[in-house]
Amino acid sequence: MVRTMRHASLIRGVALLGMMAGCTPLVTVAKGDGGAGAADESAATGGAGGSTGRFGGAVAGYNSGPGEVVGADSGGADTGSGSGGSDSGGGLAGGSFGVAGLGSNPPVEQPPPYTPTDCPCSRSFGSPLAGGCPVGTDASSSAFIGPEGGTVTVQTVSGTSSAQLFPNSLTDSIRISLTELNSPTPDGFIDYSPIYQVGPPGVDLPNGGVITLPYSNSIAKINPALAIYTADSLDGPWTKLDDTYPDAGFDMATLLRTGFFFMGYPSTGDDCLVNGEAPASWPTNATFSSCPCSRNDPTPSMWCPRGADTSTTTTLGPDGGTATLDGTPDTLGVPFRIDIPAGAISVPTQVTLIELSAPTPDGYTDFSPIYEIDPQGLALAQAGSIQINETNVANGKVSENDLSIYTADSVGGPWTKLSGDAPNAGFHTAPLLGTGFFFIGRPASDDAGCE
């Protein structure tokens, strides 16, 4: 089984249920960075504009009155008082996960309850609203992202969508936006999500990133052809992102260029189930590749994030200690780490960990970037330990026992296996005898003819 990528984590959101005096309650979605406010288990306060709330924004209230906070985890309701703020507030405030405020837009009504059906529902204009096909809300989020990379997230009734840009995909800091559009489904497709726009348009991302979209439809079975599609305009043409990977309620794929995105598959008729089973027109197998990716591939992949060229420095001395490097796409969940025992270093020393963007050594399949530990030539009087995370599309498809941490005195090699390498649920550890260069991999010949 393919191990789900650690950096594809869902971000929980909340929805605020405001009640107009004497009227039927309406659900409003927490889309805002439009006001100073708070959301917890007991109360909700809407603001008019300005400061940043828990998710990068707060929601402008709709009239004063009691309200509910609906928990995103359980779907239950914790009742508390809510004082409505201005219904004109909105706008984009700062914060890397900032979300546009509701402004004066009307609240979004909940779709009908989800009921599995034999035929797919649709978000196309004029189609009956179904619980499995909530329409787009025009919710938007934006943040300034630069060479260090970053993420923009939108939370609506459809779920959580995000656009993550890997380090060095941008040379300058620009405002990147993510918008869930209320636009009709492209002709010829069965839709499993609204259309999303990542802007500004036409920005190529040489180091790639990840686009993550929630999906839903009322049909009781999922077509294996379901994938994320992209286009430079709403009019298409739409192209399938071939490395789309399905998870529980969302799909993700490598983000190579800003533009328009949605979840769906080409329609082959009415696409209804036949006696509850898939029609003959449906494919029988997904097209997901099991071959390892490489950081040397000319086209970047979310499964093989290139090194971020970032570093961290820690002073270690006779008492020993730990140095870690994290916060990069390759270290999410498991940092690059070294542990030095007492007595291994005789005097206080500045130890620097670096994640390099250097190419994979010739003749190897890489399951991590190359890491450098400085100062070069430092030998440890007692063995420490090194920890490196595995990141490759082939995780779970090759035996971890076939992988090893390799080391060299220079980035050009020669490379040798670290003695005592031990795999451990997606990462490797090994005894560390000194500084140098390190990566996880195996001989490329082991992957010849993979399928």
Residues 375-407 as b/e (b if ≥16 CB within 10 A, e otherwise) read eeeeebeeebbbbbbbbbbbbeebebeebbbbb
pLDDT of residue 70: 31
> Dihedral of CA 219/222/224/225: which sign?
positive
CATH architecture, range 111-288: Sandwich (2.60)
256-288, pLDDT tens digit by residue? 999 999 999 999 888 899 988 988 888 876 655
pLDDT of residue 40: 34
For domain 310-447, the question of CATH label 3.40.50.2000 is answered with no
- Domain pair 111-288 / 310-447, same fold: yes
pLDDT of residue 107: 53
Q: Alpha-carbon Rg of the chain, whole angstroms?
A: 25
Per-domain residue ranges of the chain? 1-103, 111-288, 310-447
> Dihedral of CA 123/129/134/140: which sign?
positive
**CA 451 from centroid of its chain's CA atoms:** 26
pLDDT of residue 288: 57
pLDDT of residue 147: 96
| DSSP bridge partners of 197 | 179, 260
| DSSP bridge partners of 338 | 323, 386
Q: Which residues of the chain have a pLDDT value below 50?
A: 1-106, 108
Q: Are 178 and 161 in contact (CB under 8 A)?
A: yes
